[in-house]
């Protein structure tokens, strides 16, 4: 693991601390879990977008109709 330092708003810090207490974990571990979930979700979205783009390439082009 690497040590890093970031600035949080007071409100954000308080929320994270409270959530961590409710989850029975430390604030650090809680932040790591939130970031891990967010990164996984982002990666998932990127995969789906990429796959969708490639699959759409196999479809026939939509012909423009004149009105």
Partner 1 sequence: MTELFIHSSAFVALNDNHHVQHFTASEFVQSLLSDSVTMFTSLDEVVHAATTIKNQVGEAKEQQFLSLVYSGGIRLLYDSKANLQEIIEMYSSFDQKDYLQVSDVQCVLLMKQYGIKHVMSFNTTINSLGVIVVPKK
Nearer to partner 1, 26 or 47 (CB): 47
Nearer to partner 1, 64 or 67 (CB): 64
> What's the min distance (Å) between Cβ of 38 and partner 1?
13
> What's the min distance (Å) between Cβ of 55 and partner 1?
6
Please check whether residue 30 is in contact with residue 19, taking contact to mean a CB–CB distance below 8 angstroms.
Answer: yes
CA 51, CA 44: separation in Å to the nearest integer? 11
Nearer to partner 1, 18 or 39 (CB): 39
3-state helix, strand, coil in the chain (%, to 5): 65, 0, 35
């Amino acid at each position: 693991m690497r040590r890093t330092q970031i600035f949080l708003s007071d409100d954000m810090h308080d929320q994270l601390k409270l959530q961590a207490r409710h989850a029975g974990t430390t604030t650090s571990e809680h932040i790591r879990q939130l970031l891990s979930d967010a990164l996984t979700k982002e990666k998932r979205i990127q995969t789906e977008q990429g796959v969708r783009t490639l699959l759409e390439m196999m479809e026939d082009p939509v012909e423009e109709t004149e009105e």
